[in-house]
């Protein structure tokens, strides 16, 4: 594991050769029967392996045998490889998870940092000594050791080690996402003062490390159920093999014990029992690579079963700050005149909305040198709902809420143009917030403020329809604005003027109908709904209450990631189902390979429909196929099967057909090819 620097970009490299080597070594260590007990299916295979060792030493241990020591040794080696490949499948997944945890730990080591004291002096301490609320100073080249909020300064930050994105991110105070910094990222330019927002050892990076390290130790409910099924199946086949041996002995039919052992091993669900852990760990790893913190693996399976998704609007779908987007002049006034008036009326407005008006006015070429202008500023108040400036030349300039500006103008005997109300309504219908601009006693124009939808979101949620998931946007805004934003984001329905308790009641109603409900939010008022939902995804740029109430946190604050999370959840479930189906159906071909070998003395050679070379080559070919199919399936288990944007039941039907038929056909072909090769040497 190492950190590499290339042109100010820091990346982590994983030594995959070391991972494979460690997995191979552990595969041998796990031959210990006490360790093998954790997997009942492979434990039975190991018992069969020990039996074959004894038969290799003494082929006549259980009576006269036609098989030589060499033949028994060959079968013994194949069984050993089966166990080793099974262990390797599990170990490679575990070591990859550990490598991921180690890579995160490297970028989160205990380093010396500069803590800013109340008297503004600098104190050098280690990052492990920091406490929530401390202020630290980081400059160009420094690693940010904690989750925090920028309180002063502006700088470019490299987040590639956490997010995988190579482009630097500009960080500055008071801009939601841009003010939030994550431990493990690095300052590329300038400097920042950062307020620590998490306890040491409880940062999001710490939690990702813990989840990666614990991935091998915890099982989801579905996995526990699958393990129970595989254990029951193993015991059933064990009982069948023992009963068959007793019955054949009672009928005085001679059957090689080695062949019975081979039959049992081939019948056991060795493939899927070897791949459960790789499937689970790789699913969690894919979510971590999305830069999403998941509190438990069960949530991935819940996400795969999601039926309904609720979304908050402000700060989740939109940026949360209304920005000036358009200037509309009234009557004979020009856009430039309105823009200049708006610029002067907003100059002393330090709110994000006020700053956005200045920015928009500059684009119209309406910037005014305020130092050359004398006047008395009027701040915005909840009572007046407007702000502006009284110039020394007698001009009165105001901007503010429509009803307040109209009332102010009419009280002074001013002029309101006839189309004013129509323009106001049009702006509202389009999802904007209108502000009127007044000069002296005349309303000269309008500025439209709009809570801009995030670029990454536009039309993205339309994909949830293909996944069979209904989306509902919940917001406290008016119905007109809500409908416009919902349509632009590709959301099915919207719930306007929604209160927190109404969101909870609605989620509970759907849950009572047996539906799995997801919720995405970022505000304190979203916390109850996030806690109630089956899957609660909060934004890293959101409030502490929202993050504590949720069970998933997106460190990049991109709500569209829920689509990828849903796909990963479905991929996890589908991969388990597909490989389980494949594992069960491929047993059928093994029956036709081994059963004729067991009953050839009884004249049942007709069962040999595959026309295999001999009884021994049939046994060995089936065992070899049973062994090599495990490593061949490891890439599928780690990568997961492809998930299409279709409803779950359609995807299930497709995978059952594909892997079910594949499980029937591939073993026939594989065993026949192996038999042609083995037959040359036996």
Chain segment 254-263, per-residue pLDDT in tens: 777 888 888 8
State whether 312 and 327 are in the same domain. Answer: no
DSSP state of 535: E
Q: Is 562 within the bounds of a domain?
A: no
Please state the rounded mean pLDDT for residues 310-336. 83
Identify the H or E element spanning 537. Answer: strand 535-539
CATH of the domain at 163: 2.70.150.10
Its pTM stands at 0.67
Burial of 628 (0-12, 13-18, 19+ CB in 10 A): middle
State whether 48 and 152 are in the same domain. Answer: no
Q: Is 560 within the bounds of a domain?
A: no
Report the pLDDT value the prediction gives residue 437, as an integer from 0 to 100. Answer: 94
Report the pLDDT value the prediction gives residue 445, as an integer from 0 to 100. Answer: 93
CATH of the domain at 510: 3.40.50.1000
Structural domain ending residue among the three candidates 453, 471, 495 = 453
Q: What is the mean pLDDT of the chain?
A: 80
Report the pLDDT value the prediction gives residue 547, as an integer from 0 to 100. Answer: 78
Q: Is 547 within the bounds of a domain?
A: yes
Evaluate if residue 275 carries a pLDDT over 70. yes
State whether 377 and 335 are in the same domain. Answer: yes
Structural domain ending residue among the three candidates 494, 524, 554 = 554
State whether 129 and 234 are in the same domain. Answer: no
Residue with tokens 């050791």: 145
Give the rounded percent of residues in the chain with a pLDDT score beyond 70. 83
Report the pLDDT value the prediction gives residue 277, as an integer from 0 to 100. Answer: 82
State whether 27 and 135 are in the same domain. Answer: no
Whether the Cβ atoms of residue 97 and residue 284 lie closer than 8 Å to each other: yes
Let me know if 206 is a catalytic residue. Answer: no
Whether the Cβ atoms of residue 545 and residue 567 lie closer than 8 Å to each other: no
- Side-chain-facing half-sphere of 413: CA atoms under 13 Å: 0
Please state the rounded mean pLDDT for residues 361-369. 85
Evaluate if residue 114 carries a pLDDT over 70. yes
- For 304-315, give one letter per residue: b (16+ CB within 10 A) or e: bbbbbbbbbbbb
pLDDT confidence band for 596 (50 / 70 / 90): confident
Structural domain ending residue among the three candidates 427, 453, 479 = 453
State whether 575 and 657 are in the same domain. Answer: yes
Evaluate if residue 50 carries a pLDDT over 90. yes
Q: Cα–Cα distance between 269 and 86 in angstroms, integer?
A: 11
Q: Is 375 within the bounds of a domain?
A: yes
Report the pLDDT value the prediction gives residue 447, as an integer from 0 to 100. Answer: 92
Report the pLDDT value the prediction gives residue 330, as an integer from 0 to 100. Answer: 92
| SS3 assignment for 156-214 | EEECHHHHCCCCCEEECCCCHHHHEECCCCEECCCEEEEEECCCCCCCHHHHHHHHHHH
| Domain encompassing residue 142 | 112-202
Report the pLDDT value the prediction gives residue 1, as an integer from 0 to 100. Answer: 41
**Regarding predicted confidence, which is higher, 522 or 211?**
522
State whether 441 and 340 are in the same domain. Answer: yes
Report the pLDDT value the prediction gives residue 215, as an integer from 0 to 100. Answer: 44
Residue with tokens 């029951």: 232
Q: Is 284 within the bounds of a domain?
A: yes
State whether 254 and 380 are in the same domain. Answer: no
Catalytic residue among 312, 522, 554, 587: 312
- Domains identified in the chain, total number: 4
* Least confident span in 106-115, 466-475, 498-507, 620-629: 106-115
The number of beta carbons lying within 10 Å of the beta carbon of residue 325 is 17
State whether 75 and 220 are in the same domain. Answer: yes
* Least confident span in 344-348, 428-432, 505-509, 621-625: 428-432
Report the pLDDT value the prediction gives residue 5, as an integer from 0 to 100. Answer: 41
State whether 227 and 251 are in the same domain. Answer: yes
Copy the structure tokens of residue 168: 């630097």
Q: Is the dihedral of CA 195, 197, 201, 206 positive or negative?
A: negative
Burial of 658 (0-12, 13-18, 19+ CB in 10 A): middle
pLDDT confidence band for 10 (50 / 70 / 90): very low
CATH of the domain at 351: 3.40.1110.10
State whether 526 and 381 are in the same domain. Answer: no
Q: Is 561 within the bounds of a domain?
A: no
Q: Is 611 within the bounds of a domain?
A: yes
Q: Is 107 within the bounds of a domain?
A: no
Evaluate if residue 219 carries a pLDDT over 60. no
Evaluate if residue 620 carries a pLDDT over 50. yes
Q: Cα–Cα distance between 436 and 50 in angstroms, integer?
A: 87
pLDDT confidence band for 494 (50 / 70 / 90): confident
CA distances from 461 to 399, 487, 546, 561 (A): 36, 10, 22, 10
Q: Where are the beta strands (DSSP E) in 540-620?
A: 552-554
State whether 298 and 155 are in the same domain. Answer: no
């Amino acid at each position: 594991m190492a950190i590499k620097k290339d042109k100010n970009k820091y990346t982590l490299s994983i030594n995959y050769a070391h991972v494979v080597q460690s997995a191979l070594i552990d595969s041998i260590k796990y031959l210990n029967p006490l360790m093998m007990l954790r997997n009942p299916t492979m434990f039975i295979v190991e018992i069969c392996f020990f039996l074959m060792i004894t038969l290799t030493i003494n082929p006549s241990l259980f009576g006269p045998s036609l098989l030589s020591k060499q033949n028994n040794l060959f079968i013994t080696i194949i069984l050993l490889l089966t166990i080793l490949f099974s262990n390797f499948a599990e170990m490679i997944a575990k070591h990859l998870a550990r490598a991921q945890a180690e890579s995160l730990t490297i970028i989160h080591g205990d380093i010396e940092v500069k803590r800013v004291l109340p008297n503004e002096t600098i104190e050098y301490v280690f990052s492990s000594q920091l406490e929530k609320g401390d202020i630290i100073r980081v400059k160009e080249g420094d690693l940010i050791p904690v989750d925090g909020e920028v309180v002063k300064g502006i700088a470019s930050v490299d987040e590639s080690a956490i997010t995988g994105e190579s482009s630097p991110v500009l960080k500055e105070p008071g801009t939601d996402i841009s003010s939030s910094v994550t431990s493990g990222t690095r300052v590329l330019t300038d400097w920042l003062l950062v307020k620590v927002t998490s306890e040491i050892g409880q940062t999001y990076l710490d939690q990702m490390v813990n989840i990666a390290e614990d991935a091998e130790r915890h099982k989801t409910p579905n996995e526990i159920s699958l393990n129970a099924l595989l254990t029951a199946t193993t015991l059933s086949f064990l009982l069948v093999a023992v009963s068959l041996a007793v019955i054949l002995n009672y009928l005085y039919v001679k059957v090689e014990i080695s062949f019975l052992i081979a039959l049992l091993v081939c019948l056991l669900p060795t493939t899927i029992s070897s791949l459960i852990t790789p499937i689970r760990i790789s699913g969690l790893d894919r979510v971590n690579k999305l830069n999403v913190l998941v509190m438990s693996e069960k949530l991935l399976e819940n996400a795969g079963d999601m039926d309904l998704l609720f979304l908050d609007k402000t700060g989740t779908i939109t940026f949360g700050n209304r920005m000036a987007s358009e200037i509309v002049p009234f009557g004979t006034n020009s856009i430039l005149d309105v823009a200049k008036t708006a610029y002067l009326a907003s100059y002393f407005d330090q709110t994000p909305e006020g700053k956005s008006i200045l920015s928009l006015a500059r684009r119209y070429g309406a910037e005014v040198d305020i130092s050359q202008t004398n006047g008395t500023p009027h701040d915005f108040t909840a009572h007046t709902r407007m702000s502006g400036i009284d110039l020394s030349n007698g001009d009165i300039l105001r901007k503010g809420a429509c009803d307040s500006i109209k009332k102010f103008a009419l009280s002074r005997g001013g002029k309101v143009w006839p189309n004013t109300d129509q323009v106001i309504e049009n702006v509202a219908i389009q999802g904007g917030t209108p502000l009127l601009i007044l000069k002296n006693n005349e309303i000269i124009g309008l500025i439209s403020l709009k809570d801009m939808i995030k670029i990454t979101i536009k039309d993205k949620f339309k994909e949830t329809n293909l996944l069979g998931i209904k989306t509902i946007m919940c917001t406290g805004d008016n119905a007109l604005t809500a409908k416009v934003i919902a349509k632009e984001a590709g959301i099915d329905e919207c719930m306007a003027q929604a209160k927190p308790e109404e969101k909870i009641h609605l989620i509970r109603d759907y849950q009572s109908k047996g539906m799995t409900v997801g919720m995405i939010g970022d505000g304190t008022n979203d916390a109850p709904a996030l806690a109630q939902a089956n899957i609660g995804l909060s934004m890293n740029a959101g409030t502490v209450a929202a993050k504590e109430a949720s069970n998933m946190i997106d460190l990049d604050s991109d709500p569209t990631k829920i689509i990828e999370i849903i796909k990963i959840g479905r991929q996890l479930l589908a991969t388990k189902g597909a490989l389980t189906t494949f594992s069960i159906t491929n047993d059928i071909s093994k029956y036709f390979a081994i059963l004729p070998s067991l009953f050839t003395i009884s004249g049942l050679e007709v069962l040999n429909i595959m026309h295999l070379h001999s009884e021994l080559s049939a046994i060995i070919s089936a065992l070899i196929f049973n062994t090599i199919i495990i490593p061949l399936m490891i890439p599928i288990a780690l990568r997961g099967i492809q998930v299409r944007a279709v409803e779950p039941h359609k995807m299930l039907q497709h995978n059952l057909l594909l892997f079910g038929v594949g499980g029937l056909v591939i073993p026939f072909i594989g065993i026949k090819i192996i038999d042609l090769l083995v037959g040359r040497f036996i």
